[in-house]
Structure 1
Amino acid sequence: MKLKGKVGIVTGSASGIGKGIALAMAKEGAHIVIVDVNEKKGKETLAQVNEHAEGLLFIKDISKKENVYEIVSSVVEKFGKIDILVNNAHVSKQAPFSETTEELLDLSFGTGFYPTFHFMQAAYPELKKSQGKVINFASGAGLDGQVTQTSYAAAKEAIRAISRVAANEWGPEGINVNLISPIALTPGVEQWRENAPEMYDAMINRIPLRRLGDPEQDIGQVAVFLASKDSDYITGQTIMVDGGSIKLR
């Protein structure tokens, strides 16, 4: 029960990596606030979270700043504090660099970068009180410059940049800010595996550990570590949870 009594917000947690993190943290005793736009899947995740700890569900469009502040205010009213902030939600569309439009950039920044930025600012007063933990998300798309990922890579690297700034500024106040760069078997990847098995196998063969991460058992457990006291002396770092695909120097 490493997170017993803690209160954590996890965005994009109705399914995939976000759900895996929400369940992993709930099983360690944390009260989890699920934030998503998918009501059906959000309610399913809430029911699973409630088997282990108290959960709370918000079906909100977090690309709108006012919704972010409303969620933070409601969480504090309900639980009295915020200990953990996990900014996982992000939507983007792929396109070659020469065909990437401002609309595609706006989609990626509007659903990934700006919600991360706004949640961090909105939750900062509470994180300062609790000496809390922020977990943001990077991606190999940005670190490695993956083709057709211009808008996604740009937003993810922007998130890495503000995370490092916040780590430096908030460190003296006892707030840790770190990032996870994952590769995981999400529902979207499972569908892609069915539609393009040869491409999927080729991807697996490029991963040293020869498998994709499990959202709860692999990604979720690292998130638990970063949210717990075990990581108190780690901040401003990008943790690669990708089976060894990228080695940072």
Structure 2
Amino acid sequence: MNKLQNKIAIITGGASGIGKGMAKAFVKEGAIVAIVDLNEEVGKETIRELQEYQPESIFIQADLSDRDRLSSIIEKVIEKFGKLDILVNNAHASKNKPFEETTQADMDLSFNTGFYPTFYLMQAALPHLKETKGKIINFASGAGINGDANQASYAAAKEAIRAISRVAANEFGRFGINVNLISPIANSPGIQNWAQEHPDHYEAMLSRIPLGRLGELESDIGRVAVFLASEDSNYITGQTIMVDGGAIKLR
């Protein structure tokens, strides 16, 4: 299990949910991971788990909505490890509301925690990823692709992330950098809470998944992230990989 041996990876939102699932999959493949998260308590707990597999992995506590401090995340990793191979932009916060009730504050929350951190971290990481011919993995969503109801702010930011990822794939290809996206349906804590609050909506969603289940955080989503971070995906860039059990089939 060494597809990512000696690779240095940053995963935002890495303390829990999909981010944690990816981080666990990465360290088991030999990567040294820097998880970035706002929640210090959960971050410290997660990094202890990761260090059982990769003792050099670290936790960086950061508020990704503070744009002026985003570059310091990259700087800390470069200072400690001397290089960066993989950037995973996973973190995102938003509020679900009907379109007509969505406010500027709602849009700001979604873009300031999802789109802008993705954009600015990609910019800050670029000089270092040029040196390693690295990989960028960003996150899309079926909410944006389908235009799901009550998801205006989230869908807008996710589709904006898809747009800049395609631009970056075209521009960064000459440096040997791959830029791809994962669009998941995962058995995350957020989905579990939503299922309890809206069981009818949850069952309706589940019925639209041909494989009949939610993706597991590490073994399903995490393993695809390992593939995109490894040399196995060297000839893939600019793509949205639907890790959703077949719910959406892009053409």
TM over 0.5: yes
What's the counterpart of residue 211 of structure 2? 209
- Equivalent positions of 1:53-92 (< 5 A) are 53=54, 54-92=56-94
What's the counterpart of residue 155 of structure 1? 157
What's the counterpart of residue 28 of structure 2? 27
What's the counterpart of residue 136 of structure 1? 138
**Aligned residue identity for 1:45:** T
What's the counterpart of residue 125 of structure 1? 127
Alignment counterpart, residue 98 of structure 2, candidates 96, 99, 107: 96
Q: Indicate the RMSD between aligned Cα atoms, in angstroms.
A: 0.9
Gaps spanning 5+ residues in structure 1: where?
none
* Distance of 2:243 and 2:186 partners within structure 1: 9
* Distance of 2:102 and 2:110 partners within structure 1: 11
What's the counterpart of residue 52 of structure 1? 53
| 3-state DSSP of counterpart to 1:94 | coil
Q: How many residues align?
A: 249
| 3-state DSSP of counterpart to 1:161 | helix
The alpha-carbon deviation at position 219 of structure 1 amounts to: 0.3
Structure 1: 4+ residue segments shifted above 6 A = none
The alpha-carbon deviation at position 202 of structure 1 amounts to: 2.3
| 3-state DSSP of counterpart to 2:35 | strand
What's the counterpart of residue 238 of structure 1? 240
TM-score (norm. length: structure 2): 0.97
- Aligned-pair identity (%): 63
The alpha-carbon deviation at position 96 of structure 1 amounts to: 0.9
The alpha-carbon deviation at position 27 of structure 1 amounts to: 0.5
What's the counterpart of residue 6 of structure 2? 5
**Aligned residue identity for 1:150:** A
What's the counterpart of residue 170 of structure 1? 172
* Distance of 2:107 and 2:194 partners within structure 1: 23
Gaps spanning 5+ residues in structure 2: where?
none
| 3-state DSSP of counterpart to 2:143 | helix
**Aligned residue identity for 2:249:** K
* Distance of 1:200 and 1:109 partners within structure 2: 26
| 3-state DSSP of counterpart to 2:214 | coil
What's the counterpart of residue 36 of structure 1? 37
